[in-house]
Structure 1
Amino acid sequence: MMDTYSLQRLQATLITPESFQPYGQVISASEDGKPFDDRDAQLQIQNGIPRFYIMRLPDRGRKFHHITRHKLCTQCLGSLNGKDWLMAVAIGVNDHPELESLKAFRIPGNCFIKLNVGTWHAGPHFDASALEFYNLELSDTNISDHETCDLLETYHVEYEII
């Protein structure tokens, strides 16, 4: 017998610092020389060697059933070339994301996001054949700090960002 699951549509909203605050920060351009303040990325990368790199991602569509978090560091992501993109995020409860907190955001290409330590995330998603992103995390994040929840297995649900 095949397990049944539901496909839930998740409406993406334009990201703002206020709407994204439970999950992290939105960082936009500021004047050069501005003193450090709470509008700058509040990084937690002291648990290893920081890795800043450009990644090229193929189109994965807008559906997802895997969601990931990192418990040892913050993560910063932004698209290159000013392209808009999408990210789904959720607050963690014990070992699983809290589905009631799951939100999708449309992120303009003129800013980047900083994910709080432990924020569950699915994406980046986008409407192009491929897109390049800059990424700041730890050098071993994808090896030693990469916890993934299969939403189909855990909650019998898959999501599509619309």
Structure 2
Amino acid sequence: MDVKIEPITKSAFAEYGQLLETPPAAEPTIAVPTVNFWKQQAAFTVDGELEVGFLNVKKMDMIFDDLENHFKTQTGLISLSGDWCIGVGTPGNEVPEAGSLKAFRIPKGRLVVLHEKCWHTTPYPVDHDESAMLVMCKKDFLDDDTVYEKISEESRLVF
């Protein structure tokens, strides 16, 4: 099953999470000669501490047969080194069918915050050999709130 990668927009991604666009379209909350600051561009709901991890993903075939989920926490992802893409399925308790998946290309430096229970692939670098990424999630999510489940059909992300 091929899942076509599309450019990410706030409205296209809203079902799966939040997109922080840069620069924001709104006027800054604070605008002084040395600083422009926009508050509350994305929101995390977390019970307890938030952790920030470092992820280095290497270029690979964009083929997958399972999805990852974090049922009790949102996941924030931002690439520091290049564009990337991700496959996503509707948030929920049940593993989505391969035919219902969407895929998005996210420009370097843009933050996405996946909703709780959002099924997703690993991030894939686009047009470069590897992506250095920051991952923000509830503390200890990897040990306490990460599951991998097989999907109905092997799939691949395509342009």
Task: Give the TM-score of the pair, scaled to structure 1.
Answer: 0.82
Structure 1 residue ranges, 4+ long, deviating more than 4 angstroms after superposition: none
After superposition, the Cα gap between the structure-2 partners of 1:96 and 1:80, relative to the gap in structure 1 and judged at 3 Å, is same
Partner AA of 1:9 in structure 2: D
| Structure 1 equivalent of residue 74 of structure 2 | 74
Residue type at the aligned position of 1:26: L
In the alignment, the residues of structure 2 paired with residue 74 and residue 92 of structure 1 have an alpha-carbon distance, to the nearest angstrom, of 11
Question: Any conservation in 2 of the 1:23–1:115 contact (CA below 8 Å)?
Answer: yes
Residue 33 of structure 1: aligned partner: 37
Amino acid at match of 1:33: F
- Say whether residues 1:95 and 2:88 are aligned partners: no
> 2: CA distance between counterparts of 1:50 and 1:93?
22
Q: Does 1:11 align with 2:9?
A: no
Q: Does 1:51 align with 2:51?
A: yes
Match of 1:23?
A: 16
Structure 1 residue runs of 5 or longer lacking an equivalent are 1-7
What corresponds to 1:121 in structure 2? 120
1:35: how far off?
4.2
Displacement of 1:93 in angstroms is 4.5
TM-score by length of 2: 0.83
- Distance between the aligned counterparts of 1:92 and 1:131, measured in 2? 25
**Structure 1 residue 110, shift from structure 2 partner:** 3.3
Write out aligned runs for 1:124-139 (5 A). Answer: 124-127=123-126, 128-139=128-139
Q: Deviation per CA, 1:45-71, whole angstroms, max 9, x where unpaired?
A: 22x321112221222321111101111
Percent identity among equivalent residues? 23
8 A contact 1:62–1:126 mirrored in 2: no
Q: CA RMSD of the aligned region, Å?
A: 1.7
Aligned length: 146
